Amino acid sequence: MNERLPHYYEPIVQTIAQSIYRDFPSLVERYGEKGWKHTLEDNEHHFRHLEAAYAIRDSQVFVDYARWLNGILTKHGMTTYLLIDNFERIPAAIEKQLGQDKEQQFTNYISAAIQALKATDEYGKKERVPFQE
């Protein structure tokens, strides 16, 4: 999964990252420039996995990725809430950008992943905050 994303994803990834940092200014204080770069990279990975799921028309590819990523992020102090929030921003950011079929399928894959993440023990026990104190 190290291949570059098509260039048209760059402004989409930027828009998503900017909206996250706008809505969670505490991320700047806590993670600084390094966190910003990780946010961009993470969103690129989200789209790589969405593309992989789309290529074989299997939402489980993205669901499995979301569960795996959530395990890593929560071990580093992030919360499931922040990952879900990130995923929820994607459909609006891709609207009228990728073609109707791809946008609809991506939205379906994201919805399935969010449903799986909300079913985790970690999600139900934590406040809706971006990171653990």
pTM metric for this prediction: 0.91
Cβ(61)–Cβ(35) under 8 Å? no
Strand partners, 131: 78
95 neighbors 87 (Cβ within 8 angstroms):
no
Q: What is the model's pLDDT at position 1?
A: 46
Domain 9-125 has CATH 1.20.1280: no
**Comparing 76 with 14, which gets the higher pLDDT?**
14
The yes-or-no verdict on residue 35 having pLDDT over 60 is yes
- Tell me how far CA of residue 58 lies from CA of 63, 82, 84, 93, 119, in angstroms: 9, 24, 20, 22, 20
pLDDT value of position 76: 87
pLDDT at 130 over 90: no
φ/ψ (deg, to 5) at 3: -65, 150
Q: What's the whole-number mean pLDDT along residues 19-46?
A: 95
Helices and strands, number each (H, E), in the chain: 6, 0
What residues are paired with 78 via a beta bridge?
Answer: 131
Confidence of residue 109 (pLDDT cuts 50, 70, 90): very high
Domain boundaries, the chain: 9-125
